[in-house]
């Protein structure tokens, strides 16, 4: 009696699973032999028909006789290059490693417009060859989409992606995502939604598919469906979804934000109609999530801050003065007109101390808009929150307003405010740090130099708490070398001097100062 391994089956552990696997392989080979014999008989009976010859080629492929299958198909294709033959020749050329030929055959197959003939072929293809076809077609679509995305290019990419999806058994999430994006660009939005939904059926937490489907619903003006998908994605990855929302065009981004705010307001009203203040944190989890994201999309929009304040009011987190306030519904009015500013600022300090920077940002925006005399103080606090949230450009904008309010620091002692240079230096250092983190080193170093001149002790303390002496001295060296190379020796000298005030032992700065001194010994520069 023949054993399975005698026919080339890999040797497996002697257990029931391995035996069953080997018997299955033996059965499959036996079926292929039977099919081959039957197909050869059919060829003799119908010598002019394609179907028996294609069946013989498939049986030869399954028996591992790839070269014979290829020659047989090539002979048929010479007289009738139809889609089923092109599909098989493509797969065999990929199997043999002839990628150029496979590509040419695949192009002809796509031009035929009938890729459905791949389905019966893929049913008998080996897993390795299916993966080869899938990967090749996906890569081909990527190359097409790297060029101009005209309608013809998009349709060609869709054809390649469709083959990749078929080869994967409809499990290629990447190919489905790419095809859905192509359908959106082609205006076939409902078809795109079908592809996004296919991904989500197998991968419910696929953030890109949720956002893609949500934004497609946005194009169809389906508010409820769009909001549900975006919210579901936010609960998985807030950062990724915020980035995607920010990438939208202005009109689309505004509409998404408006819909999220409307959902949040409605949800908040329903909660407050059924509950009393303070509400439980879990009940407000979605509201806090949406409020935080809206502020990250545009922290300058007052509506988002007011929404966040309303959520905090519902939670009972703006001081004990709110505990007896009746809030059966959220008014949506401008709370900052009646909000006690010291209470808002005090609460902002409390929540920022516990690391809740977005909550503090909302409260401080209310305080900034309501305050007059205390506005610089609240702007400083808000700039600190913005810096913690890595929103440094906006932090710089707040600190610009603070520094403009100082006036001339040389008048500080005359005006009876001896602490003014100390405060001025700290504001300059805070703005300088954010400017460095915005990759604007030139203006940043001007701020640090001015701060060191105004109050060296306070400036160095701020540097140590922020960028650190080592990093700042390297910034001074880099900019000084740039000016030295441009022969702007006065600027290079000033920067090396400031850098050495930060780190007096920095050898590169000391060497550079010596070179500048040798080349330009002007009494107005070198002392």
pLDDT at res. 24: 45
How does residue 25 score in pLDDT terms, banded at 50, 70 and 90? very low
DSSP code per residue over 374-392: THHHHHHHHHHHHHHTT-H
pLDDT at res. 527: 45
Cβ count near 413 (within 10 Å): 11
Q: Is the pLDDT of residue 429 over 60?
A: yes
282 contacts 327 by C-beta, under 8 angstroms: no
Q: Is the pLDDT of residue 232 over 80?
A: yes
Q: Is the pLDDT of residue 69 over 80?
A: no
Residue, of 124 and 455, whose pLDDT is higher = 455
Q: Is the dihedral of CA 198, 204, 210, 216 positive or negative?
A: positive
DSSP 250: H
pLDDT at res. 416: 39
Cis amide linkage into residue 63, ω under 30° from 0? no
Residue, of 442 and 80, whose pLDDT is higher = 442
Q: Which fold has domain 423-519?
A: 1.25.40
381 contacts 348 by C-beta, under 8 angstroms: yes
- Give per-residue pLDDT as tens, 141-186: 999 999 888 999 999 999 999 999 988 876 689 999 999 999 999 9
**Mean pLDDT, range 344-352, rounded to an integer:** 58
Same fold for the pair 1-125 and 423-519: yes
Q: Is the pLDDT of residue 219 over 90?
A: yes
pLDDT at res. 9: 40
pTM score, two decimals? Answer: 0.58
Cβ count near 496 (within 10 Å): 28
DSSP 445: H
Take residue 213 and report the two structure tokens written for it.
């489907």
Q: Which of 31-45, 51-65, 366-380, 457-471 has the highest mean pLDDT?
A: 457-471
Take residue 115 and report the two structure tokens written for it.
């890729």
- Give per-residue pLDDT as tens, 452-496: 999 999 999 999 988 999 999 999 999 999 988 888 888 899 999
pLDDT at res. 21: 41
3-state secondary structure string across 85-108: HHHHHHHHHHHHCCHHHHHHHHHH
How does residue 413 score in pLDDT terms, banded at 50, 70 and 90? very low
56 contacts 43 by C-beta, under 8 angstroms: yes
Domain ranges of the chain: 1-125, 423-519
Q: Which fold has domain 1-125?
A: 1.25.40
């Amino acid at each position: 009696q023949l054993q399975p391994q005698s026919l080339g089956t890999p040797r497996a552990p002697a257990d029931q699973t391995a035996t069953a696997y080997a018997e299955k392989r033996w059965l499959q080979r036996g079926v292929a032999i039977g099919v081959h014999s039957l197909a050869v008989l059919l060829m003799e009976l119908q010598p002019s028909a394609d179907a028996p010859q294609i069946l013989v080629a498939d049986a030869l492929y399954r028996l591992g006789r790839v070269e014979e299958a290829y020659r047989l198909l090539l002979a048929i294709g010479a007289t009738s290059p139809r889609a089923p033959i092109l599909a098989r020749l493509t797969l065999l050329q990929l199997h043999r490693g002839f990628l150029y030929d496979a590509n040419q055959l695949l192009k002809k197959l796509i031009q035929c417009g009938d890729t459905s003939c791949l389905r019966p072929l893929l049913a008998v293809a080996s897993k390795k060859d299916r993966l080869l076809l899938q990967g090749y077609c996906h890569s081909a679509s990527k190359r097409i989409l790297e060029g101009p995305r005209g309608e013809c290019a998009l349709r060609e990419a869709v054809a390649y992606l469709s083959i990749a999806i078929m080869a994967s058994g409809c499990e290629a999430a990447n190919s489905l995502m790419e095809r859905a994006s192509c359908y959106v660009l082609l205006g076939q939005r409902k078809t795109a939604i079908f592809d996004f939904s296919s991904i989500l059926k197998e991968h419910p937490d696929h953030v890109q598919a949720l956002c893609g489907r949500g934004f497609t619903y946005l194009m169809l003006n389906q508010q409820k469906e769009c909001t549900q998908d975006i919210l579901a994605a936010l609960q998985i990855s807030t950062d990724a979804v915020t980035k995607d929302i920010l990438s939208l065009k202005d009109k689309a981004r505004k509409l998404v934000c408006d819909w999220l705010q409307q959902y949040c307001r409605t949800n908040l009203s329903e909660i407050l109609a059924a509950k009393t203040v303070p509400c439980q944190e879990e009940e407000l989890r979605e509201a806090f999530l949406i409020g935080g994201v809206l502020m990250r999309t545009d922290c300058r929009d007052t509506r988002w801050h007011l929404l966040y304040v309303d959520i905090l009011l519902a939670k009972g987190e703006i001081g004990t003065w709110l505990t007896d306030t009746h809030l059966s519904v959220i008014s949506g009015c401008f709370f900052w007109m009646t909000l006690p500013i010291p209470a808002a600022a005090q609460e902002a300090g409390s929540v920022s101390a516990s690391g809740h920077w977005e909550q503090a940002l909302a409260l401080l925006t209310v305080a900034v808009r309501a305050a007059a005399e205390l506005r610089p103080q609240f702007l400083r606090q808000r700039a600190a929150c913005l810096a913690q949230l890595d929103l440094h450009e906006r932090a710089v904008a707040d600190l610009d307003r603070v520094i403009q309010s100082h006036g001339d620091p040389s008048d500080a002692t005359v005006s009876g405010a001896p602490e003014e240079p100390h405060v001025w230096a700290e504001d300059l250092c805070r703005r300088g740090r954010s400017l460095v983190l915005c990759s604007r080193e030139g203006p940043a170093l001007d701020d640090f130099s001015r701060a060191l001149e105004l109050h060296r002790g306070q400036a160095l303390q701020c540097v140590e708490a922020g960028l650190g002496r080592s990093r700042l001295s390297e910034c001074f060296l880099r900019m000084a070398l740039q000016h030295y190379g441009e022969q702007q020796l006065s600027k290079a000298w000033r920067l090396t001097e400031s850098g050495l005030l930060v780190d007096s032992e920095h050898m590169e700065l000391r060497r550079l100062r010596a070179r500048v001194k040798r080349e330009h010994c002007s009494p107005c520069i070198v002392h």
